[in-house]
Amino acid sequence: MSTVRIATRGSDLALAQANNMAERIRNELDRPAELVVIRTTGDRIQDQSLAKIGGKGLFVKEIEEALLDGRADVAVHSAKDLPATIAPGCSLAAFPERADPRDALVARGEASLEALPQGARIGTGSTRRSAQLRAWRSDLEIVPLRGNVPTRIGKLESEGLDAVILACAGLDRLSLGDKICERISSDLMLPAVCQGTLALETRADDSLHGEIARLEDATAALTATAERAFLLRIGGDCTTPMAAFAELSEDGKLSLRALLSSEDGKTIASASGADDDPAALGLEIAERVLADGGEEILAALSGS
């Protein structure tokens, strides 16, 4: 039986995620698996913001190329890094069970967002987080941040920051959950599209697609479909301060909350709703956000 070659970035988090999926492929699909580490443009360029060098697609493009040219058979992505459309010839085969989708506050000493001092310096590389922080507390100083998870935590001391904002899922997957001072409520900070969700991608014409699909979690698939439908209609990228968070209630009701913000957080368009059809829900909420002022926000962000 041929070995399933798994394309992944080489960061600590990406390797942890890929190794977890490799174990599942070995145990649940009874297939041997090995990692193929791809050093992406986004990983190589660490001294510039993602917005300036092309966005989070820089973490995906070369991994998809490895699938298409036959160097790898399946890719493991953080689904929040995926652009609205994937490369022709590739297909998303599965969304495994979602980890904690919330944002995390990591601070020096015990702290919470509310308890941070006036003018506190908070590190983040996310326009979504920055906009929501500014909307909530205009006194905060937002410090641009890049690097892998341990590097960002280290910048608390090296750059004299009071706190950094990271994803709970990444910290948990790296066994760094004890660093989290506050798991920030989605009512205060709405998560990114598909935050906490992994996406497994294969070649569209590969018979392996059907096998990998067995690793899908039904709830994660529903929420990812709704959130990505919102993303596709809005058409934004990592430079766009937007958020979308779908949840499935205990009685099986799918709901979605979403927002689009100006960079300074002073103007926010938002909407929420529920529907049994996740793709239709994502589209409906996107249209309502655009009608609520989102069109004007997008125009201002693009400079038109």
What does the DSSP assignment read for 141-205? EEEE--S-HHHHHHHHHHTT-SEEEEEHHHHHHTT-GGG-SEEE-TTTSPPPTTTT-EEEEEETT
Distance between CA atoms of 265 and 243, rounded to whole angstroms? Answer: 13
Tokens of 110: 């015990």
Is 103 annotated in the active site?
no
Looking at 81, 103, 162, 206, which residue is catalytic? 81
What is the Cα gyration radius of the chain? 19
Amino acid at 166: L
Nearest to 184, CA basis, from 258, 100, 269: 100
For residue 136, give every residue at least 6 positions away whose Cβ sits within 8 Å of its Cβ, in sequence order, or none.
113, 188, 189, 265
Strand-pair partners of 90: 203
- Positions annotated as catalytic residues are 81
